[in-house]
Chain A
Amino acid sequence: MTDTIRGPQAGQLERIKEKLLSRHRDEEISYASCNQNGCFDSCVLRLRTNKDGVVTAIETDDTINKGLGREDAYIDEEALRSAMVQKRACVRGRGLRKDCYADDRILYPMKRVGPKGSRQFERISWDEALDTIASKILETREKYGPKSVHHDGMLGSTFDPFASFLPGGGIACWGEDSFEPSNFADQVCFGKSFDLMGTFMDGHADAMTLLDSKAIILWGFDTCVNYPEMIWYFLMAKERGVPIIYIDPRFTWTAQTVATQYIPIRPGTDLACWEAMAYVMFSEDIYDHEFVEKWVEPVGLAKWRKYIMGDIPGELPKTPEWAEKICGIPAETITELARFYAANSPCYWRSVWNISRQVYGKDSARGANYLQALGGNFGKDGCSGANVGIGCNNGLPFTPFNTSGIENGPYQSEVCMEAEMWHNAITMRPDFEAGLITEEDYKMAIGCPLNAEAPNIHMLCLLHMNRNPVSGWYDMNKRIKALEMCDFVVYGHWHFSNPTVPYADILLPLAHSFLEGPYHQSSTPSAAYAGPAVSGYGTHSFTLSVSKAKAVGETRERQWIFKEIANRLGIGDQYAPTMKDISAEDWNDAVVEKAREAYEFWKTVASGFGVEAPEWEDFVEKPVFRIPLPETGYHVFMKDNLLNDKPLDTPSGKIEFYSEFIADNDLATAQLPHMGKALGRGQIKAMAMYRKPPEGMHDKRVNDYPLYMVTPHSFFKNHTAYDANPWFRDESRPSVWISATDAKARNIKDGDKVRVFNDVGEIHLPAYVTSRLMPGVTCMIFGRYYEPNGVKTNLMPTGIDTRGNCNALISSEFYDDVLGVLRCNALVEIQNLEPILNLENLKEA
């Protein structure tokens, strides 16, 4: 054989070359910033659009280091350490085009014409949709009072865009879906917590500081799925010799790729392991004395130490031998892990939020803070942040990205519900009104502080972010019931196949976030997330979405919808004084103009900090600005306190292990000293103490349902966004994970159709049989739609799920001990359906 025989025929190469090149000829380039709620990395999407304004491809960030493949092989250490690198999108961002132009995209406003749940809709005009919504809001408020229209809310505030302009305000909620336990922990330990107004946007650490760590210990922190922008820096640290220990019931891709060592732990038992580590650190006196003496409040520490050492009545000493039976990690390993941890500060210690998203979860979140404190691992390069771990504000001001032109109104909304409890508020209301349950019981069931007026929800208006109540939160069946009972539901989304759609009375077609318009996330007056402070890396960059793609059909940007409703409510002049008359066609340009004003202002302020940002015209061409590191180096939470001897905001000025506030107050009425948030109900101890939770691996319910289901996030979704994306459906199998041990015991092999069930719900789907899972644990990845079959049962009145929505199996029980935790686990059983299916096939034959 020679090369000539293998070469092309005459004209063949030219023909193929032309065919390939013609696909992307004469396209326009613009840049979007990928920022679906669920990730704040703001990675760069280089968009190619054709002459019709249709996105034809999404490319990699080329605003720096263009043309480099394995970037770190070509750049120097300083560039790596200062994050002068590309912001490469993960798979989610790269597949957005198929999501945007999906066959089931909702293109026009619609109203439901069939019964609830029917998916029978009819096209209506925008005017009819908006008129109907506005009149329904007014009518409902008139009939049932200001707390009757729920727009979702969290963190002591409301997402109701109109509440502050309407007498009586609206419904404000306490709690935060994703990280309420962590937020609570940071509040009691550090005296501050994250809130929507951005006052605590310094809880994180720049990812580059991983290169300063002596050791990295990750508790379920599956960076490969949840924090994609950080993976590379973890790898860089590992390749430079930093040992990375990863602890999780699952052998995840982080366990394989990022970790130096993988240690399995029983889910929900992390705090037991940490208490035993603390026992070793106390008894061997190897905790960080210097840090602890200076930064930990001593009386509370002494109380917790007594508890750990077994020096209080009724408590065993929390020895590694005590813990090993609970968490399944050998005592020798726990002891050595404690010694290793104590000997290797700065240690980047990080636990995933999900560890505390269980009954008694608030204890776990506080426990993580305690261990970081005992190791002296706060405020130094090489350390992580607080438990919430959001924000890397290096002192630079936020961009005042009020891109919507929206102002705040005069009326306050009262905190009267916990963020996720709207389903109880609706479904239990008739019993309360009929006198079957007391007002106190009703309030207690929804997290309403006893001294607040309970909500009376008759209308749901879900247009914010990507909310999908049917599969996005626990207790799917009850939420469906609530949607069915609610008088009027307004829902906005991109996809008709979304499982909440059938319950909408009015369905609005939303523009595809950042792909079809200038991006800004929130409807709250200050879109704090658009500032330079939130990213997986940290402070180093600032992006803006200025996509040149045209929105399809009659889809509209959320803010335009809100201001149109505001106009119809008669509050347009107050709500969006500068934007109220902007048409849908001119909206994006007007938002970019607002962004320009904000940028110019920020640029002026930033120059006072020695940061020279480019001119707007240059910035907007390639809207990524990499902010040079300040002289103080990386942002690390508490660094400022350590450097400047600045006390924390707790009563003692130090990290508090024991909360006097919790000890002294009735949580049914007391407001945490932050944003007026009352917990509404529930029991929690003044300091973190491990307790075996109901629905845990050591709970008697395992007699009926022996498998502990964990529900981690997916490579391919932000919450439930993108579950319908056909490209992503080609890359992943919707399955339930079952360990090879449990599969063997149930005669299940990979791919068998199985029944996953408990006393809450039932799902039929294929089994993924793997040794990557601890026996006794199963895994249903979170974020899938609900795709019912035709079989309706008592438990599943709208049909058995076939897609694998984990939330069909998780209840709202144990609310006394949940305290705002978004429950993410349940006990289940799995049964092989193949023998039954085979039998049915035989019968048919």
Chain B
Amino acid sequence: MTQYGFFFDQSRCNNCHACVVSCRDWNDIDPGPVKWLRMLQWEKGTFPSLRMHTLFATCYHCENPLCVDACENGALFKEDEFGAVLLDTDLCKGSRDCWTACPYGAVMYEDDAPGTPGSKCTMCYDKLVQGELPVCVASCPQRALDFGPIDELREKYGELNALEDMPSGDIVKPAVVFKPMHEHRQVVPYDVDRALELLGPRCDNLPNTFDKPSDVMDVPHENTGYHKLVMKSSSVAETLALSMNEEG
């Protein structure tokens, strides 16, 4: 068997969701919480020293798919030609044992009612057998995605199988390679402390925008949106909410 996999370049991804919508379009998925592919974002740092992380979150068609082992109904299996992990919705009884086993929350459900059958990314198996790329990979306007035999991708792009804050891939061995976001650097000097001194007071003795730099540096991070990476949520509503962005 040749295991195929994805490459995701976080340094190029701008969270535009073209891949997500392309996936829903090709797979004809109705509006609602089911997204076989989600784009996740999470924020770190305080103004103006920020990092916005993104993650191409889908089934990584693991080499050691614990979800398959967890299913007692034979609804999940790994096919041989591309190594795609496929979910047979006819046999799925909605036990969610697969979801529990998967570190990434790849299996999606229409609602929280017990017994609701799941569905998930097929690696665009139908496109693969016709010699085409998965629709998400071909869609990316930033060319941040690639696809191919995972050995070739690892040779080309390295071995990284988990981005910062992601669950470890050591056990499940996801068929994915990541390139992390780039570090910003000061092309011209920029003194953050001085900037915060300037940004508090307005001209002409008008009221301050804030009084002291600590008003900006010491803010409750947990009150901000998308403040951490959450790949598995407790409800479909939360899953949907966390897979959104703020239009920019």
Using a CB–CB distance below 8 Å, which chain A residues touch chain B? 1, 3, 5-9, 12-13, 15-17, 20-21, 23-24, 56-60, 67, 69-73, 88-91, 94-95, 97-98, 215, 222, 224-225, 228-229, 231-232, 235, 243, 245, 250-264, 266, 324-326, 328-330, 332-333, 336-337, 340, 692, 697-700, 702-703, 706, 712-717, 726-735, 737, 739-745, 748-751, 768-776, 779, 781
Contacts and interface: CB of A to CB of B under 8 A. Distances in A.
Given A94-B22, A232-B143, A337-B188, A732 B244 contact: yes
B209 to A, nearest CB: 3
B7 A70 contact: yes
A333 B198 contact: no
A776 B185 contact: no
Given A730-B32, A730-B240, A771 B125 contact: no
A714 B16 contact: no
Contacts of B137: 69
A252 B246 CA distance: 11
A635 to B, nearest CB: 22
Given A88-B141, A261-B187, A7 B199 contact: no
Nearest to A24: B126
Interface string B129-147: 1011101011111111111
Contact of A769 (B12, B202, B225): B225
Contacts of B207: 702-703, 706
22 contacts: A6-B77, A8-B79, A9-B74, A15-B90, A20-B125, A60-B138, A69-B146, A70-B7, A70-B144, A91-B21, A228-B141, A258-B14, A263-B48, A336-B189, A727-B25, A727-B31, A731-B17, A733-B241, A739-B47, A740-B223, A768-B246, A775-B209
Contacts of B78: 3, 6-7
B79 to A, nearest CB: 5
Nearest to A784: B247
B131 A67 contact: yes
Interface string B44-57: 01111011100000
A257 B182 CA distance: 8
Contact of B138 (A69, A737, A741, A745): A69
B204 interface: yes
A261 B186 CA distance: 6
A726 to B, nearest CB: 4
A741 B215 contact: yes
A251 B140 CA distance: 22
A24 to B, nearest CB: 7
Contact of A749 (B26, B35, B204, B223): B223
B141 A232 contact: yes
B141 A333 contact: no
Given A7-B80, A97-B25, A771-B45, 19 more contacts: A6-B68, A13-B77, A17-B126, A17-B129, A70-B7, A73-B143, A88-B18, A232-B142, A264-B199, A324-B198, A337-B188, A340-B187, A703-B206, A712-B248, A740-B219, A742-B210, A743-B223, A768-B246, A772-B47
A12 B187 CA distance: 57
B220 interface: yes
Contacts of A70: 7, 9, 143-146
A1 B201 CA distance: 65
A397 B55 CA distance: 45
A698 B146 contact: no
Q: Quick one: which of A253, A741, A770 has the most chain B CB within 10 A?
A: A741
Nearest to B203: A698
A332 B189 contact: yes
Contact of A727 (B24, B144, B188): B24
B101 interface: no
B9 A732 contact: no
Given A69-B143, A692-B203, A730-B31, A222 B248 contact: yes
Given A17-B129, A57-B25, A231 B141 contact: yes
Given A91-B16, A257-B11, A251 B50 contact: yes
A236 to B, nearest CB: 9
B77 A768 contact: no
Q: Quick one: which of B13, B126, B191 has the most chain A CB within 10 A?
A: B126
B78 to A, nearest CB: 5
Given A71-B143, A775-B216, A252 B184 contact: no
B187 to A, nearest CB: 4
A325 B25 CA distance: 50
B225 A266 contact: no
B47 A256 contact: no
Contacts of A730: 31-33, 35, 240, 243-244
B28 interface: yes
A15 B87 CA distance: 12
Given A23-B126, A91-B18, A771-B43, A713 B143 contact: no
Complex A-B, nearest 6 residue pairs according to Cβ-Cβ distance, in ascending order: A776-B209, A726-B31, A740-B219, A20-B126, A749-B223, A750-B225
A776 B48 CA distance: 13
Contacts of B209: 697, 706, 741, 775-776
Interface of B: 1, 7, 9, 11-18, 20-22, 24-28, 31-33, 35, 43, 45-48, 50-52, 64-65, 68-69, 74, 77-80, 86, 88, 90, 122, 125-126, 129, 131-133, 135, 137-148, 156, 181, 184-191, 194-195, 198-199, 201-204, 206-207, 209-210, 215-216, 219-221, 223-227, 240-241, 243-248
B89 to A, nearest CB: 9
A94 B18 contact: yes
Given A714-B248, A733-B244, A330 B190 contact: yes
Contact of A58 (B25, B27, B65): B25
A254 B219 CA distance: 24
A759 to B, nearest CB: 18
A326 to B, nearest CB: 6
Given A328-B198, A733-B241, A713 B248 contact: yes
A115 to B, nearest CB: 32
Nearest to A259: B184
Nearest to A707: B209
B171 to A, nearest CB: 12
Contact of A72 (B122, B143, B244): B143
A715 B245 contact: yes
Given A67-B131, A256-B181, A715 B17 contact: yes
Contacts of B33: 730
Given A90-B16, A264-B195, A732-B246, A57 B26 contact: yes
Contact of A95 (B21, B46, B247): B21
B13 A257 contact: yes
A699 B202 CA distance: 9
A6 B69 contact: yes
B86 A740 contact: no
B126 A225 contact: no
Contacts of A5: 69
Contacts of B138: 59-60, 69, 88
Contacts of A734: 247
Given A58-B25, A91-B21, A235-B142, A714 B247 contact: yes
B46 A729 contact: no
Nearest to A8: B77
B88 A16 contact: yes
B141 A89 contact: yes
Contacts of B188: 245, 261, 263, 333, 336-337, 340
A805 B209 CA distance: 25
Contacts of A324: 198
Contacts of B46: 740, 771
Contact of A750 (B21, B146, B216, B224): B224
Nearest to B77: A8
A773 B189 CA distance: 21
A336 B190 CA distance: 9
Contacts of A740: 46-47, 216, 219-221, 223-224
Given A222-B248, A730-B244, A231 B14 contact: yes
A742 B208 CA distance: 11
A215 to B, nearest CB: 8
